[in-house]
Amino acid sequence: MKKIEAIVRQEKLEEVKQALLDIDVMGITIYQVVGCGHQKGSTHMIRGSKVDMQLHPKVKFEIVVSTDEWAEKTIEAIRSASCTGNVGDGKIFVYDLADCMRIRTGERGIKAI
Listed by start position, the domains of the chain span: 2-112
Domain covering 2-112 assigned CATH 3.30.750.24 in the classification = no
The pTM for the full model equals: 0.84
User: Is 42 in a helix, a strand, or coil?
Assistant: strand
Answer for the pair 107, 1: CB distance below 8 angstroms, yes or no.
no
Show contacts of 54-57: CB within 8 Å, 24+ apart. Answer: 56/88, 57/10, 57/32, 57/33
By CB neighbour count within 10 A (0-12 exposed, 13-18 middle, 19+ buried), where does 113 fall? Answer: middle
Q: What is the pLDDT of residues 51-75, one digit of tens each?
A: 666 778 899 999 999 999 999 999 9
Q: What is the pLDDT of residues 68-107, one digit of tens each?
A: 999 999 999 999 999 999 988 999 999 999 999 999 999 9
By CB neighbour count within 10 A (0-12 exposed, 13-18 middle, 19+ buried), where does 92 fall? Answer: middle
12: nearest Cα among 64, 77, 95:
77
Answer for the pair 27, 100: CB distance below 8 angstroms, yes or no.
no
